[in-house]
Structure 1
Amino acid sequence: MDTKNEGLRDVCQEALECLNKPGNEAYNELKSKLEYVIGSYNYDKNPVGLFEIGNLALIALEEISAEKPRKVKKTLLKNLKENLLQKVEA
């Protein structure tokens, strides 16, 4: 079991929960994709989708944070960035 990928899955789940908050209806397609890749990872342990959609989630969360800083935890952004960087390092 790769704990790095498990960490990425967990932070993607946290990003999904943040995107599910009221006022983020513009991101419904992204939320669906995140749900799908999290479920897919849980099934086959292939993290490719988590990295791809996780990057899109990071961009969306940064947009939300720029408009309304209190809607997105800074630790979420930090953890998501760190987990996505592990693919670059690998």
Structure 2
Amino acid sequence: MNDQNEKLRDVCLEALTCLNKPGNKAYDEVKAKLEYVIASYNNDKNPVGLYEIGNMALSSLKEISANKPRKVKKVLLKNLEDCLKVETLA
């Protein structure tokens, strides 16, 4: 399960990079929370925050993608969804 958590952390970092692109000011709260939970996971290896805020980031990225499809890579959405599904199945 630890490898899955590391994978989730990495895809959350990708999501953060995408949300940090110019023009995404409306998502500052999600970005701040994502930065926090990534740092927290790096310190204590507890993935709970990654799953919670990862879902928020996924919603935000889907919203951006719906309005401007070229701003969000489809593979990022798929990878984030796949990582988040593992927790619900566990």
Q: State the alpha-carbon separation in 1 of the partners of residues 23 and 54 from structure 2.
A: 20
Report the AA paired with residue 62 of structure 1. K
State the partner residue of 1:68: 68
CA distance in 2, matches of 1:28, 1:88: 27
Counterpart mapping for 1:3-82 below 5 A: 3-82=3-82
Amino acid across the alignment from 2:85:
L
Number of corresponding residues:
90
TM-score, normalised to structure 1, is: 0.98
- 2:44 and 2:86 map into 1 onto residues whose CA distance is 19
How much does 1:57 deviate? 0.2
Please report the RMSD computed on the Cα atoms of aligned residues, expressed in angstroms.
0.8
Provide TM-score, normalisation by structure 2: 0.98
Q: Which runs of 4+ in 1 moved over 2 A?
A: none
Unaligned runs of 5+ in 1: none
